[in-house]
Structure 1
Amino acid sequence: MRLVLDGTGLTCARVHEVARARPVPGTAAARVEVGTAERARIAWLTAGSLTGPVYGRTTGVGANKNVMVESGGLDLLRSHAGGAGPPVSPERARAMLLVRANQVLAGGSGADPGVAYALADALNRGFTPPVRTYGAIGTGDLTALATTALCLLGEVAWRAPEGEAGPPPRYAVAEALAFISSGAATLGDAALGCHRLRALLHAGIDVAARSFAAVAASAEPLAPAVQAARPHPGQAVVAARVRELLPGLAGDAVRPEPAAYGLTAPATGRVQDPYGYRAFPQVHGAALDALGAAARAVEVDMNAATENPLIAEGRAWHNGNFHSAPIALALDAARAAVVQAASLSVTRLATLMEPGYTGLLPFLADEPGRSGLMILEYVAQDALAELRHLAAPVTTGSATMSHGVEDHAGFATQAARRALAAVEPLEIVLACELVAAARAIRLRAPRQEDELTRGLDPATGDRVLDADIEAARALIGEAAGRFSG
């Protein structure tokens, strides 16, 4: 994988690729290169020739904005590097380094463009700064970036990859605020969360299609005429994908004779199915649209000059481009939409437990009175409850700091962190549905297999289901991995 940064084309998908790459010392397995740095160079040269008060360069910061200083570079970095909590994962740190390097190249920070080369070097060699979890509220990732700057200066040790024998990346960060005035860590988390949640939602369409097949749900709600009548983009994508999959999944599957188990035959030709099927394109499609909107908002900021002051047109512009309201609002909406999609997955799981929909024994057991897959509902409901908790909006809060000078906050940092945390419970919800749908299909047509279910254990006796859930998560992860964004 080779990525050339130029300050204009960074996407959530590329952040995901670089963040998850595991550089091997001495190789270029995940090569990040710096392209044109002309805009950054112009801003840097301009910043060096500015006269008069410039926030953070000739003045203090925050409530000290009116205090003139000769040089606060190193002191500013040392005083702002105090985060708390456990270090973030190397993946998240790599995402931050990538975003900040790209932002520097976008121009406007006044930072030496050589910093972008140093960050690319760290990425290529697998070095990450020991950034801690807590220390930002959506007005700039000051603690994370100050720690990174001190790593570049050699005052704080990088986290080095195993087997790396060369010297750590070094660079003299001349202008402290020009480097740390950014939400790069928040945007890195947001990019990872948006990409991974979108990928899981796309995989979730394939999972739901198996449930459609398992209960012989009506395809009428998926019809092109229905979608054309209400042309939301995500809705159309979802309906088209299920329409594409259903013929192959249905195959020649025949319901077993319910009377053999003392069951009531399921209704055939149902006029309307439950919402988990009938409204699936509308709900799941809305979630895709919300995640798409969030990804676009994140990508704007990853390729923008969100600097204060902004160095442009030969002067310093003091401004509020750093404020994260657009990101926080988009991520709040996206997480709420994910809950909607996951809740429908849980309702489909419930129908898969019902003989009236499957024509099989309760809970897809292999003998009457056994528990079968009953416990999957508890697991899925637990994961769904976690998703609801993570979907609580952050944009209803605020904060006042630094003697009242900084009197509002967007909390996009918390919104991004929660988006990343939502990946695991969403995957678990979908895995529970897949395990049940796969068993139902197998019971109806024992020889029928497909790409998303063939790795699951075909045994139907009561047993510990941990391995089944984990296998389903792996299969869903593989399907999500094919999503290119």
Structure 2
Amino acid sequence: MKLTGTGLSCAHVAELAGGAARVTIGPTDRARAAWVTARELTGPVYGRSTGVGANKDVEVSGSGLDLLRSHAGGAGALIEAERARGMLAVRLNQLLAGGSGIDPGVLPVLADVIGSGATPPVRAYGAVGTGDLTALATTALCLLGEVAWRDGHDGLRYPLAGSDALPFISSGALTLSDAALALHRVRTLLEAAITVAARSFAAVDASAEPLAAAVHEARPHPGQALVAERLRGMLTRERAARVQDPYGYRAFPQVHGAALDALGHAERVVETDLNAAAENPLISGTLAWHNGNFHAAPLALALDALRAALVQTAQLSAARLATLVNPAYTGRLPFLADREGGSGVMILEYVAQDALAELRHLAAPVTTGTSVISLGTEDHASFATQAARYALRCVEPLEIVLACELVAARHSPCPDRPLDTDLAAARAELSR
């Protein structure tokens, strides 16, 4: 896959993070132009001729590499190699977009790092949504040979200059990678959820009347109309066993459509930043522009909305599951048991409600909090890092809730096949 500083998508990040694509780079003209300009700048330039944070007014001299050594101080467990690879790909694409002023010689080396499978030993904690400083400082020290790459990779080095320190680490590349991975996986699940709901519709003879085109033309939300159209195409008959079905069926297009709309908005926000020169300072033209493009408020807000929407669509899945074990809707024995008094799929409701509780916890908004750090100089934070981390963690419980519904919707008693095997197969099917 060729990275050019443009056109990088969430799906591309997932492919690169999974190690499924070799990386090449396109023209480095924009990066080189910024580098040339940066070397000619005079006067105070943040992070180049000054300290950072509260030290912004302090002139500095020397190598500048102490910035990397001081900021490579994360804590917690090492993050998964997949997330670290995604971070490397995102940062490389951003640097190709230009504006950082970094030595362009590092760009092919970063591509080689990604292709080799090497990843930096990045720890989980150390960012608040204003830049992944600890993660990228650790990566820079790996390039310098001061910190070892994971998995025994050696020789992947580049002599970063002190003036390259801030340009390398001034990015939310890990946060964006986490967000891209989460959105890619969530899209797979939300698309699959429509098929799952169709199975439930068929299992309880739910009315297709709420899916009629006329209904959704009267309230033209894009996601809502899309869900109704797809579901209509999956149902083979229009039977109205009841005048009105529960909300899990009747309001499915409205609720699930809202989740798809929230996902679409989040994807647009993430993909804008994947291809942006969100550098501080931004080297553009003949000047260094000091700015706040590192602040990830748009991303945090979009991910807060998405996680809340995932809870709502999962709640409807659990509600449909409740009808699937109820004889009043299926005409079968309670819990789809194969005999009177049998437990059938009773346990699925417990599993689904456990996973749903986890989703509710993960949906707590991060954007209502803030922080004041660096002697009051940095007096706001988006916590987009946490929003992206929680979005990634939402994938598993959402998948489990949907898998519980899917198993119940197509269940036929099979005493030789444990229920957990059915769930494992359903989860694998949903993730494809």
User: Shared fold (TM-score greater than 0.5)?
Assistant: yes
Residue 240 (1) aligns with residue 229 (2): yes
**What is the identity, as a one-letter code, of the residue corresponding to 2:53?**
G
Which amino acid in 2 is paired with 1:381? Q
2:39 is aligned with 1:48: yes
Is 1:410 the counterpart of 2:410? The answer is no
Summarize the Cα distance change of 1:368–1:462 in structure 2 as closer, same or farther, 3 Å threshold.
farther
Unmatched 5+ residue regions in structure 1?
23-29, 252-266, 443-458, 479-485
Shift of 1:418: 0.1
Is the aligned partner of 1:207 residue 2:196? Answer: yes
In structure 1, what is the Cα distance between the partners aligned to 2:386 and 2:159?
31
Which of residues 297, 306, 312 in structure 2 aligns to 1:340? 312
Q: Aligned match of 2:5 in 2, 7, 12? A: 7
For residues 217 and 283 of structure 1, what CA distance do their matches in structure 2 show? Answer: 17
1:177 to 141, 144, 166: 166
SS of the aligned residue for 1:290 comes to: helix
> Unaligned regions of 5+ residues in structure 2, if any?
none
1:106 maps to which residue? 97
Task: Select the residue among 20, 24, 28 that pairs with 1:37.
Answer: 28
Percent identity between the two aligned chains: 70
CA 1:168 to 1:367, structure 2 compared with 1: closer, same or farther past 3 Å?
A: farther
Contact kept, 8 Å, 1:77 with 1:149, in 2: the verdict is: yes
CA drift at 1:471: 1.1
Aligned residue number for residue 69 of structure 2: 78
1:427–1:473 contact (8 Å) kept in structure 2: yes
Q: What is the CA distance between 1:170 and its match in structure 2? A: 1.2
The aligned residue for residue 291 of structure 1 is: 263
- The answer (yes or no) to whether the contact 2:13–2:177 under 8 Å persists in 1 is yes
Q: Is the 8 A contact 1:137 1:412 kept in 2?
A: yes
Which of 171, 187, 198 is equivalent to 2:176? 187
Partner Cα distance (1:193, 1:409) in 2 = 21
TM-score by length of structure 2 reads 0.97
Per-residue deviation at 1:116? 2.2
Deviation of 1:462 after TM superposition, in Å, equals 9.2
The Cα offsets for residues 419-443 of structure 1, whole Å up to 9 and x where unpaired, read as 000000000000000000011xx5x
> How big is the shift at 1:31?
1.1
How far has the Cα of 1:144 moved from its partner?
Answer: 0.1
- CA shift for structure 1 position 95: 0.7
Q: Deviation of residue 71 (structure 1)?
A: 3.1
Moved over 6 A (4+): none
Contact preservation (8 Å) 1:189, 1:420: yes
Q: Distance in 2 between matches of 1:477 and 1:59?
A: 48
1:138 paired residue among 124, 129, 141: 129
Give the structure 1 partner of residue 88 of structure 2: 97
CA distance in 2, matches of 1:168, 1:233: 51
The corresponding residue for 2:358 is 386
Q: In 2, are the aligned partners of 1:154 and 1:170 still within 8 Å (CA)?
A: yes
| 2:283 aligned residue (306, 311, 315) | 311
SS for the counterpart of 2:235 is: helix
Q: Identify which of 111, 114, 120 aligns with 2:111.
A: 120
Q: What amino acid is aligned across from residue 168 of structure 1 in structure 2? A: G
Query: d(CA) in 1 for partners of 2:298 and 2:188?
Result: 22
Separation in 1, partners of 2:218, 2:63: 61
Partner of 2:422: 468
Matching residue of 1:223: 212
Which residue is equivalent to 2:326? 354
**In structure 2, the residue corresponding to 1:368 is in which secondary structure?**
coil
Q: Which amino acid aligns with 2:193?
A: G
* Structure 1 CA distance for aligned equivalents of residues 415 and 395 of structure 2: 30
CA distance in 2, matches of 1:368, 1:462: 19
* d(CA) in 2 for partners of 1:242, 1:49: 60
Secondary structure at 2:382's aligned position in 1? coil
Match of 1:456 in 2: none
Question: Contact 1:57/1:72 (CA < 8 Å) preserved in 2?
Answer: no
**Aligned 8 A contact 2:19 2:117 in 1:** no
Instruction: Output the aligned Cα RMSD.
Output: 1.5
Hey, what's the Cα distance between the residues in 1 that align with 2:245 and 2:401? 21
1: distance between equivalents of 2:305 and 2:72? 31
Cα 1:176–1:268 shift into 2, 3 Å: closer
Paired with 1:304 and 1:343, the residues of 2 have a C-alpha distance of 36
- Once the two structures are overlaid, the 10-residue window that deviates more, 460-469 or 305-314, is 460-469
**Which residue number in structure 2 is paired with residue 256 of structure 1?**
none
Q: How many residues align?
A: 430
Equivalents in 2 of 1:121, 1:237: separation in Å?
42
Is residue 31–residue 102 contact of structure 2 (8 Å, CA) maintained in 1?
Answer: yes
Deviations 1:369-398 (A, max 9, x none): 111000100000000000000000000000
Is the Cα–Cα contact under 8 Å of residues 205 and 241 in structure 2 kept in the other structure? no
Task: Tell me, yes or no, if the aligned pair for 1:101 and 1:115 is still in contact at 8 Å.
Answer: no
Say which of 300, 323, 327 aligns to 1:328.
300
Q: What TM-score, normalized by structure 1, do the two folds share?
A: 0.87
- For residues 303 and 169 of structure 1, the distance between their equivalents in structure 2, rounded to whole angstroms, comes to 25
